[in-house]
Amino acid sequence: MRIAHVAPLYESVPPKLYGGTERIVSYLTEALVALGHEVTLFASGDSRTSARLIPGRECALRLDPRPKKSEIAAHLAMLAEVRERAHEFDLIHFHLSHFLHFPFFADMAGRTVTTPHGRLDYVDLAPAYRRFPRFPMISISRSQRAGLAEAKWLATIHHGLPIDIYRPAFETTKEEPYLAFLGRLSRDKRP
């Protein structure tokens, strides 16, 4: 299958520092390549992938030292490139926030899938989705769907890590077992 993944341009894929969405896009892209699919990744030019990379800009927005950048303009330019190449793909998988791609791909919504990786309870998202109800969606949790209950949900696929990446090393002790959380706290997502 010929698959395009369209990543946000805020971080490289995989991210050099924090970048949860970009890390998941990397895992998914690399797994699909390993399964034999023809995968194209639209992301920042400093991304590393075994898929074909089409850069939306030369480096990720957050790590670009230039003070004057437009994240909207960068994403719009990348979406125009995806649209021009849409005939090359059987499926276009969008990982962008707030449905910026919907107007570009309204006539081919059935050849796309959108995975929003964050909250969906922002006041403007439901009205925007109602204007483009044909877009198939993948949630990352059941609770995420509550903010956009009327969406065309296909499935819930939880974020996860490849099982061979981190191997826990448990030592036998007489102390109580514990759970260590290593992650980021954010106003929007919490732990």
Flag whether 19 is in a domain.
yes
Q: What pLDDT does 36 receive?
A: 98
Task: Say yes or no to pLDDT of 185 above 70.
Answer: no
Length of the chain equals 191
Q: What pLDDT does 162 receive?
A: 81
Flag whether 132 is in a domain.
yes
Flag whether 123 is in a domain.
yes
Confidence of residue 163 (pLDDT cuts 50, 70, 90): confident
Residue pair 144/125 in contact (Cβ under 8 Å)? The answer is no
Task: Say yes or no to pLDDT of 126 above 70.
Answer: yes
Q: What pLDDT does 168 receive?
A: 67
Q: What pLDDT does 33 receive?
A: 98
Domain that holds residue 46: 2-156
Flag whether 166 is in a domain.
no
Q: What pLDDT does 169 receive?
A: 67
Flag whether 163 is in a domain.
no
The total domain count for the chain is 1
Flag whether 165 is in a domain.
no
Flag whether 184 is in a domain.
no
Residue pair 3/90 in contact (Cβ under 8 Å)? The answer is yes
Maximum pairwise Cα distance, the chain: 63
Q: What pLDDT does 184 receive?
A: 64
Q: What pLDDT does 85 receive?
A: 98
Mean pLDDT of 60-77: 96
Q: What pLDDT does 174 receive?
A: 67
Helices and strands of the chain, counted as H and E runs = 4, 7
Mean confidence (pLDDT) of the chain: 91
Q: 60: domain CATH number?
A: 3.40.50.2000
Q: What pLDDT does 144 receive?
A: 92
Flag whether 183 is in a domain.
no
